[in-house]
Each structure stands twice: as C-alpha cells, then as structure tokens.
Chain A
C-alpha cells in the first residue's frame, strides 16, 4: 500500500477526469444496493413493537444474550484452536522441504472457499448418524458417538473452514522469519517450548492477530454450517434467521443483524489495521 502512495506523485499531471468517472458505476451500485438498503434496515430495526428498544433488547433480553454469549464463546474457541494448530503446521511447512510438501500445502488449503453448507456436510460425513467416527466408536465401544448435530459439530465445522485460510496467512509470515534467531536462542540453551513462545510467537504476532481476528469474525457470522447441521443450534445467525422466517419479527432480526454486523466489522477492522490487507469470506 505504501509503495503505491510513493510511486504516484508528480508524474501524473493533474486534471484527470477519468478516475472519478471510472469509480462511478461501482459507487452507484454500492450506494443503491448496500448503503441505502442498510439505512432502511436500521430504521426498520427501530420500527417494531419495541421501537428503538429492539436494539437494547438485542443486548439485554436473556434469550438473545445467551445466544450472543454462546456465539462469542464458540468463535473464541475456534480462533484459539485454529491459531495453535495452524501455527504449528504452518511453521513446520515453511521450515522443512520434503517431497510431497506442495501436495500437503494444496490439501491443507483446498477447502479455502468451500461454502458453509458443504462444510456442514463434511461434518456430517465425519460425525453424523452414518458418519465415520460414530461407526468407529460403534465397532470399538459398542456405542455410536454422534456429534455432528450439536455445538461440537459446529465447532468442528468452524475449525474446518478456519484452518486453511489461517495456515496460508501464517505461512506467508513465517517465511520472513530468520531461522538464525531461533538458532541463537537454542544455542543459549532454550528448549523447543521456550523458542516457540519467546521467539516464534512474538515474530508472528501481527499475522496471528490478523488471522485470529478474521477467524473470529467469520465464525461469528457463519450461517451455512449451522443451517446444515441443525436449526436448533443456538448461535446468533441462526436466531436472526428464525426471527425473520418463522417469527416474521423483521424488526428484531434487523436489530440483531446490526449487533452481529458491528462485532464482525470491528474484528475485521482490527485485522486490517494490523496487517493492512485482508478480506475474509464469510462461511
């Protein structure tokens, strides 16, 4: 980004009319189909039986508060586990060259753009009624351990879509690490754990914060996976969907959408302020 700012000045004579004109079509589409509708939605959020109190209810009604809390908890747990395993694997893959390495990287990043519904189905393949793990536990312990249609299944699904994109970010950042610093720490007697915590993690910190924030935001707003697994799972996007379709409570759905949108937007703004560029696709 900074390079762009530096390379421009002086060379281009002023009086360019093309630039604003070229931006116009995108700006018109964006204003007409995003800003304006979002403004309408914000007003509708305040036009229900509760009036503007709907926004307060979204943050104080125990029912919504419980789902907000469980969504945040789930997103936080997903972020934590994803960061740990992705860092271990990402640093490993940047440090070691072996035959088949690029295949491993392709395999780890393939699910990058799988939609949430498909990821829900992947969880069903693993832990659903006819899934692999329940069949295995059936053979081993005589009991089918079906976990797909619950919070556990959702957690597994969120890990599934968070890991590929996090590994990519970590690998890009780990490539810039200087192995000699770790070597120095090691020669001074630091064990692997100390090296990891005192040398590698601090050096990767910007990437970890950025990737973690994206991971958190995506897990907060993800909807397709929960929709596939079970409509009973009490996460915020699911609550918004049921308020809108089953209860026809559009005002409440709108208010909850804004609360959710504010959280995901804030998390992504954090990621972008740390790393400069990062766009995440919602699952």
Chain B
C-alpha cells in the first residue's frame, strides 16, 4: 500500500484511471452501435448498387421509386398522425386537466387504466378491436379503424406529459387568482390553464406524432390493403424488395421522424 504520487493521480476523484478509459470506450462503442446502422442505411439509400459500394455511383432513383410506389402509405401515415394529434388535443388535454383538478384515488386508478393500452402488447389491443368491430365491413376498411388504435396507444403519453407540467407549476393558485378577478371557466382555460401548460402540450404533441408515425404492432393487424401505413409499407419493402429500396424508404421515414425526435430532445432538455 504505497501512496506515491502516481497512485494519487489515479485515486483523485473520478479521474483518468483505467476506469475512465474503459467507460469512455463503452460509451464510444455504444454510439457507434446506435448510429452506424443509421448512417449505413442513409448511404445505401443513395447508392446505385450497395454490394459494389460507392464505385457504382450515387443515385436518387431508389428514393423516387419508393415515393412512386408508397406515396399513398406515406400520406396516410401523416393523415393518421395528425388526426391522432387532434384527438389527443381534444380528449387528452381536458382529461389531464380533470385528473389534475381532482387528485383523488379514483383519478389515480383512471390514470393507471389509461396506460393499459401501452402496457399491453399492441397485438392484443389490435386483436380485441378486430374481434369486436371487425365485423362491421365498411368500418373495418376505413382508416378510422387504425386511428382508434393509435389514439388508445398515444393518449397516455399526452395525458402524462400535460399532467407533469400542470403539477410542476402552481396552476391551482394561478387559476384561483384569475377566478377571484372574475374570470369565468372559459377565460381561465384560454388565458391561464392552456398557456401555462403549453410546454407539456407541445412535448406531448411531438411524442404523439412521433409514435403514431412509427406505430407498427397494432397497425399491422388493423390495416387493410387499402389502408397501408408507412411502417407497414416499410416491413413490406424490407421483406420483398432489394436492400437499396428498403434503405431509401428508411431515409424517407428518418426525414419525417428525426426532426420530431430532435425537437423532443430540445423541449425535454429545456424543461429539465
């Protein structure tokens, strides 16, 4: 147990001993593991022949091919995602406010129940919807069938995001102040509650759109040949088309989803 100066430098704080470099190595390896395949699919989507590599030349042909074949799926996914967001704003935000106003045992149970569609595998929810409503022909063919699944799945994210913000500020006091000044329910909603919960609503909205655009587990069972969403088309392309086409399709998906994810990181980072 010599305590020479060399030992000291290793022992001082979480310094630059072997542990430091080992941790750094693992962190770097994780980054490579997570980002490398993303980069590779970006490259492959623009490469004429992936097996031959770069020498075969760069092309946008695959991208154009995907857009030509799957533009309807992409449009449908955007339609479902924004309709899902609208539903969440209409029913999720009021629900969060109601749960915030009356923090009783019952609202804990309701909160708990609302999370069920996320806790239960999407396959099960989709099966339940199909056995219950699948018999109604027109309904089954409609994109609204998919929308229902997406709303169930995303609702808890909106409710919890808004609820978290409402709980973190003293909204009750602000509202009480407005009320004492004579503001009625709607005035308090528009001028006090909604502006003060805006952060949670924005974060929840980003999450809802992101999740809806990527939802696959439920949608695979809920969709019909006429209501194929983007991720269902992706699975299709991965299974039956060449790697370059699958990559190009993935590029399109990333273009839609990565800005949302970055915005989400920003919003969450600011509130932290």
* Neighbouring A residues of B247 by C-beta, 8 Å: 121, 125
Tell which of A29, A107, A121, A128 has the most Cβ of chain B within 10 Å.
A121
- Say yes or no for B94: interface residue by CB 8 A criterion: yes
Residue in B50, B99, B133, B253 whose beta carbon sits within 8 Å of that of A130 in the complex? B50
B262: chain A residues at CB < 8 Å are 106, 110
Q: Does A99 contact B (CB under 8 A)?
A: no
Closest A residue, CB atoms, query B175: A12
> Which of A21, A95, A261 is within 8 Å of B124, CB to CB?
A261
Known: A4-B100, A18-B185, A113-B257. A257 touches B123 (CB 8 A): yes
Q: Residue on A with the closest CB to B233?
A: A117
For residue A176, give the distance in angstroms from its CB to the closest CB of chain B. Answer: 12
Which residues of B are found within 8 Å of A41, using beta-carbon distances? 124, 127-128, 131-132
- Specify which of B36, B157, B168, B214 is in contact with A118 (CB 8 Å cutoff): B214
Complex Cα distance A268/B121, Å? Answer: 12
* Residues on the B chain within 8 Å of A66, using CB: none
Output the nearest chain A residue to B88 by Cβ-Cβ distance: A26
Interface residues of A in 78-97 (CB under 8 A from B): 85, 88-89, 91-93, 95-96
Chain B residue at smallest Cβ distance from A175: B272
Distance A196 CA – B27 CA, assembled complex (angstroms): 17
Q: Check: A56 CB closer than 8 A to any chain B CB.
A: no
User: How far is it, in angstroms, between the C-alpha of A7 and the C-alpha of B110 when the chains are bound?
Assistant: 20
How many interface residues does A have (CB within 8 Å)? 102
Q: Are B216 and A279 in touch, CB under 8 angstroms?
A: no
Q: Assess whether B78 is interfacial by the CB under 8 Å rule.
A: no
B217 contact from A5, A8, A280, A282, Cβ within 8 A: A282
* Complex partner residue of A117 from B1, B125, B211, B234, CB under 8 angstroms: B234
**Beta-carbon contact of B238 and A124 below 8 Å:** yes
Option from B103, B110, B246 in Cβ contact (under 8 Å) with A4: B103
User: Interface residue tally of chain B, by bracket?
Assistant: 35 or more
Contacts of B31 in A (CB 8 A): 104, 107-108
- B149, closest chain A residue (CB): A33
Contact of A179 among B14, B113, B148, B155 (CB under 8 A): B14
B156 near A279 with CB under 8 A, answer yes
Main secondary structure of the interface of A (DSSP, over half): helix
Question: Is B26 positioned at the interface, with any CB of A under 8 Å from its CB?
Answer: yes
**In the bound complex, do residue B33 and residue A250 qualify as a contact, i.e. CB atoms below 8 Å apart?**
no
- Inter-chain CA distance A233–B37, complex, in Å, is 22
Q: Which residues of A contact B120 (CB under 8 A)?
A: 38, 221, 257, 261, 264-265
A27–B221 CB distance below 8 A: no
28 A-B pairs (CB sep. < 8 Å): A18-B101, A19-B98, A23-B110, A25-B94, A26-B92, A26-B94, A29-B87, A34-B128, A37-B131, A85-B26, A89-B26, A92-B26, A108-B30, A110-B261, A117-B238, A121-B234, A123-B37, A126-B36, A128-B243, A130-B51, A160-B37, A186-B11, A187-B11, A221-B121, A241-B123, A264-B121, A265-B116, A268-B115
List residues of chain A with CB under 8 Å of any chain B CB.
Answer: 1, 3-5, 7-8, 11-12, 16, 18-23, 25-27, 29-30, 33-38, 40-41, 44, 85, 88-89, 91-93, 95-96, 104, 106-118, 120-126, 128, 130, 132, 159-160, 163-164, 167, 179, 182-183, 186-187, 189, 192, 217, 220-224, 227-228, 237, 240-241, 244, 250, 253-254, 257-258, 260-261, 264-265, 268-269, 272, 277, 279-282
